[in-house]
């Protein structure tokens, strides 16, 4: 299968997703699986929810990532309301997914919220770097205990 274009920044990802997610009337959580060169292997909607939320199950996210031999992942979901500010739950699940990924040697490059004509990139706002730092601290504390 021919790999897609390299996705190098959040705007390229948003452009890639806006058509498929922009007009949805319910929240949907999408995962883009990337190879070692950040080329998309596949993108799929894993979870669909209500107007205001969707449940995300880390176990399913990583089961699929491992099946696809993905080196890294980008998460995206939509906010049908158009407000792209991440909720506390959005922040918590992203942090938890980054931690889980770090234990499996998979990188999470970004989590993008699409809504209306705008988007919010966790990477562009420094949150992915912060969550990766927290994951590294957690791993270091595990090594000290062992």
Higher pLDDT, 13 or 6: 13
pLDDT band at 117 (very low <50, low <70, confident <90, very high): confident
Average pLDDT over residues 121-125: 95
Hey, which of 94-98, 102-106, 137-141 has the most confident mean pLDDT? 94-98
Higher pLDDT, 29 or 11: 29
**Which of 6, 2, 1, 17 lies closest to 111 in space, CA to CA?**
17
Q: What value does the mean pLDDT of the chain take?
A: 87
Instruction: Quick: pLDDT tens for 60-83.
Output: 999 999 999 999 999 999 998 889
Residue 2 pLDDT: 44
pTM listed for this prediction: 0.87
Helix (H, G, I), strand (E, B) or coil at 26: coil
Interatomic CA distance for residues 91 and 83, integer angstroms: 15
Residue 146 pLDDT: 67
Judge whether residue 48 has pLDDT over 90: no
The sign of the torsion formed by the CA atoms of 54, 48, 93, 9 equals negative
State in Å, rounded, how far the first CA of the chain is from the last one: 43
Average pLDDT over residues 100-125: 92
Judge whether residue 1 has pLDDT over 60: no
Do residues 13 and 32 make contact, with C-beta atoms less than 8 angstroms apart?
yes
Average pLDDT over residues 29-45: 92
């Amino acid at each position: 299968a021919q790999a897609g274009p390299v996705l190098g920044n959040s705007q390229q990802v948003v452009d890639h997703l806006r058509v498929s997610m922009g007009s949805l009337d319910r929240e949907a959580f999408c995962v883009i699986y990337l190879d070692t060169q950040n080329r998309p292997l596949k993108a799929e909607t894993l979870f669909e929810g209500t107007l205001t939320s969707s449940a995300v199950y880390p176990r399913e996210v990583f089961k699929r990532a491992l099946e696809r031999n993905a080196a890294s992942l980008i998460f995206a979901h939509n906010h049908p309301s158009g407000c792209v500010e991440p909720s506390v739950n959005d922040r918590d699940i992203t942090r938890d997914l980054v931690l889980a990924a770090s234990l499996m040697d998979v990188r999470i490059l970004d989590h993008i919220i699409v809504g209306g004509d705008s988007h919010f990139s966790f990477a562009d706002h420094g949150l992915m770097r912060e969550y990766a730092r927290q994951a590294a601290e957690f791993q270091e504390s595990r090594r000290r205990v062992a």
